Structure 1
Amino acid sequence: MFTAVKSVHFVGICGTAMASAAAALMEKGVKVTGSDANVYPPMSTFLAQKGIEVMLGYGEQNLAHKPDLVVIGNAISRGNPEAEAVLEKRLRYCSLPELLKYFFIQGRRSLVITGTHGKTTTTSLLAWVFEHNGLNPSFLIGGIPNNFNQGARFTDSEWFIIEGDEYDTAFFDKRSKFMHYLPEVAVINNLEFDHADIFENLAAIQTAFRRFINLIPRNGLLLANNEDANLAPLLQNLPCPLKRFGLGADAALQAFNLRFGPTACEFEIPSFKFHLNLVGEYNVRNALAVIGVAKHCGLSNKQIQAAFDTFKGVRRRLEVRGIAGGVTVVDDFGHHPTAIRETLKALKIKYPQQRIWAVFEPRSNTTRRNVFQTELPLAFADADAVVIAEVARLEQVPPHERLNPKQLMDDLVALGKPAAYLPDVDTIVQHLVKNAEPGDVVCIFSNGGFGGIHGKLLDQLQRR
């Protein structure tokens, strides 16, 4: 099937997974093109470095070269002119998860990392453990691990390590993406309500994960967070072996004697002490999941630790973008209250004496809505000051469903937290340049480009 495809066009190529898969296909000798309406770093830079042509905007003309296959991203909906042209011309098309399943995963040993939080870091760490120990894995990660400088690679090895997202596959396939990934070993890090645009409630997400668990074979393994109350009901009468991990004594794989420093943490499992160059308790859990998978697949504690020693983290996960005027600017992908809370906790460990600013863009399909209106103020507990931007793509969310940023600001102030609601990037930058002092840390939370705020802020801080 794959040999007949010589050219592939990606509609929505600047999604992190789409761009990474496109680059990996190009390395295999396939002619790759793509289109997108939102072209911004890091994926735009990444694609340019790979020599992949990105057509700005969507339209029938982008298909004039008649590609053998069109991959339609999950952000594309009916009414998109390019998607409509694909249907009208009866071109061969598929989703990205289908492309992966039939062209790359089938016949391999698939290790799938799932959960509401920590997927990208955990998948990146697992891929590096396998790589460092000479196993040359294929991988697909929804971000860019610094050890690889790319989010996807397809090799001839038997191992395929993949980040398994519960979000839907495409407008023509409403199943969760991870239903296509043929798991032999699967991790569920945690389970919370998210993706309010496609899941009605927590029960709907639990149903999706139940269906995923049902794909794990009898000779496979499910590694599950033992301390997640929302996950617990799913772990009864399973069709596959189960191993629970966590910090409590009743976990089969338990971490204890945790110690946290500003740039690293240490923890023990029975008979071995691990050291990890990441901060925060949530990264201990991520590492535990990796240890569980790696040991199941035949690696020793020493082999795992050797890889931990050289792991360099992931872009946009507590990534320091620069220091200017004495102010450290940090970029983080966090957009769920739990992720924001845990990231700020980690920053408090990393910068214990410094004032921490949190700048939040409500951009994800869930945080643009008022689903987390009451949870969000508490998520910023470890920030010393908060700035909230306007809800992204406001017109797409009905008024009665929208997050109210001004209410969020008022709730933060009521909790004694200095907070400002500043709708646009330039106003936010002016506010920070005026008020941030040398030694402060500004952490910018967004799962998009946020109008290039990182570069603008660093530039203005440098000039003041």
Structure 2
Amino acid sequence: MGVGGAGCSAVFAIAHSLGYQVSGCDKEKWSPYLDNKLAKLVSVGHSPDHLKGVDLLVYSPAIPAYDTQNEELLTAKKKGIEAVPWEQFVAKELLVDKFVIAIAGTHGKSTVTAMAAFILEKAGLDPTCLVGAIVNAWERNYRVGKSKYFVIEADEYSEKFLLFPADIAAVTNIEFDHPEYFADFEKLKAAFGKFVKTLKKGSILITGPKVGLENPNGETIQVSKPANFDLKMVGEFNQMNAAVAAAVAKKLVIREEIIQKALESFSGLVRRFEFKGEEKEVLVFDDYAHHPTAVLATSKAAREKFPNQKIWLVFQPHLFSRTKALFGEFVESFEKSPVDEIIITDIFGAREKDTGEVSSTDLVKTIKGKQVKYLPNIEEAATYITKEAFAGDIVITMGAGDIYKLPEMLLKKLGNKI
């Protein structure tokens, strides 16, 4: 259930590849994450009728969060059909007897997961990988291998990473996020503390420079500085990601020349400073950044790549709780951002309701010293940029909501511009 989600879609595909008899359902038959080859196995909507012949119901945790009275889930429980969130299925079924490499951290975990798996692939170690973003080289958010190695993105949200005891773990960095789950930064740090306690005996923990965790069950290695590879991905933060991925590979005794060649050929992930197209000499990029640190880092990377061009940043805040909890950090991030013009749209609430405590207009009014404008939705943002942008301009969209739809909308409008 919820088979179109970033995590559930990969689990669905991996299970199918391993010989499990699977069927799936979601609100829509299409998802940017869902493998098109498996679309014939997906039903639209949720229904108790889907439970015929089902031994185990695996669901996205978003479903009970959004819909506490979901009929399919409730019926499964009444009929005694075991129902588990996808991460429990992964832990109980897919990770059994595997050499687990778990990548955690507030920022960069998807990229490092993909980089590490890509290095293992190029080294002939044939890993399985589950990552929360589409990897360009694979055109999907998973890879199925035949070896013992399983590289998994270990998300701190709802502490699901505690289900993945690892042989090698990496923690890229720790910053406050997910205020809808963690009451404060101390609670989030405590969750990471619990995560390292789950590591297997004789395991290896690799950390970024300011993580401050020690592996109680094995070795701890700190990566203190960014790498200096000739990466296809821009920004110092990606050099840091590469350094962590390289440290993972070195502990598997992969030769340095293989590591370098793999990382320098790695083409990145979808929605990670992804080039979406060009119309009327306006270049459009899209990025998943939704935390103040990521917004500023990606803005700096854009300026590094385009030092002399006008840069537009269109940001859609994600979650009212995050915008409220990190309001000051967002303001600081935008004020330090080296872009020329900022557009902020309405907050994408996802599972949250608007209580009126925080808004995008509050952000716009508070940001000082920048050219910043509020436009309520992505359609208006696309229309405005179409009118105001000139040849040579750079447009970057950022956010974790539905702002990924804006680039295509904007490119179409620019194409029709006379």
TM-score above 0.5: yes
Matches within 5 A, 1:192-271: 192-226=175-209, 228=210, 231-232=211-212, 234-235=213-214, 238-247=216-225, 255=226, 267=228
Cα drift, residue 66 of structure 1 = 3.5
8 Å Cα contact 2:30-2:39 kept in structure 1: no
Q: Which moved more, 1:310-319 or 1:381-390?
A: 381-390
Q: Which runs of 4+ in 1 moved over 4 A?
A: 38-41
Unaligned runs of 5+ in 1: 1-10, 169-175, 248-254, 256-265, 268-273
Q: Which amino acid aligns with 2:276?
A: R
Cα drift, residue 42 of structure 1 = 1.8
Q: Show CA shifts across 1:252-281 (max 9, x none).
A: xxx5xxxxxxxxxx62xxxxxx43222111
Q: Name the counterpart of 1:261.
A: none
Question: Aligned residues, how many?
Answer: 412
8 Å Cα contact 1:35-1:54 kept in structure 2: yes
In structure 2, what is the Cα distance between the partners aligned to 1:309 and 1:193? Answer: 31
8 Å Cα contact 1:23-1:50 kept in structure 2: yes
Q: Name the counterpart of 1:431.
A: 384
In structure 1, what is the Cα distance between the partners aligned to 2:257 and 2:152? Answer: 24
Q: Show CA shifts across 1:202-251 (max 9, x none).
A: 1111111111101223411111112x2xx32x43x83321111122xxxx
Cα drift, residue 54 of structure 1 = 3.4
Aligned residue among 23, 32, 35 for 1:47: 35
In structure 2, what is the Cα distance between the partners aligned to 1:301 and 1:119? Answer: 22
Aligned residue among 428, 441, 450 for 2:403: 450
Cα drift, residue 41 of structure 1 = 4.7
The DSSP-based 3-state class of the residue aligned with 1:197 is coil
Q: Which amino acid aligns with 2:325?
A: V
Whether 2:76 is the aligned partner of 1:93: answer no
Cα drift, residue 403 of structure 1 = 3.1
In structure 2, what is the Cα distance between the partners aligned to 1:316 and 1:388? Answer: 18
Q: Show CA shifts across 1:98-151 (max 9, x none).
A: 111122212111111100000011111111100011110011001111111121
Aligned residue among 32, 52, 69 for 1:79: 69
8 Å Cα contact 1:105-1:182 kept in structure 2: no
8 Å Cα contact 2:133-2:141 kept in structure 1: yes
Whether 2:280 is the aligned partner of 1:325: answer yes
In structure 2, what is the Cα distance between the partners aligned to 1:451 and 1:166? Answer: 24
Whether 2:17 is the aligned partner of 1:30: answer no
In structure 1, what is the Cα distance between the partners aligned to 2:256 and 2:351? Answer: 52
In structure 1, what is the Cα distance between the partners aligned to 2:156 and 2:71? Answer: 27
Unaligned runs of 5+ in 2: none
The TM-score normalised by the length of structure 2 is 0.93
Cα drift, residue 393 of structure 1 = 3.3
Q: Which amino acid aligns with 1:374?
A: G
Q: Which amino acid aligns with 2:84?
A: C
Whether 2:255 is the aligned partner of 1:300: answer yes
Whether 2:265 is the aligned partner of 1:282: answer no
The DSSP-based 3-state class of the residue aligned with 2:278 is strand
RMSD: 2.0
The DSSP-based 3-state class of the residue aligned with 1:143 is strand
8 Å Cα contact 1:33-1:54 kept in structure 2: yes
Q: Name the counterpart of 2:7.
A: 17
The DSSP-based 3-state class of the residue aligned with 1:210 is helix
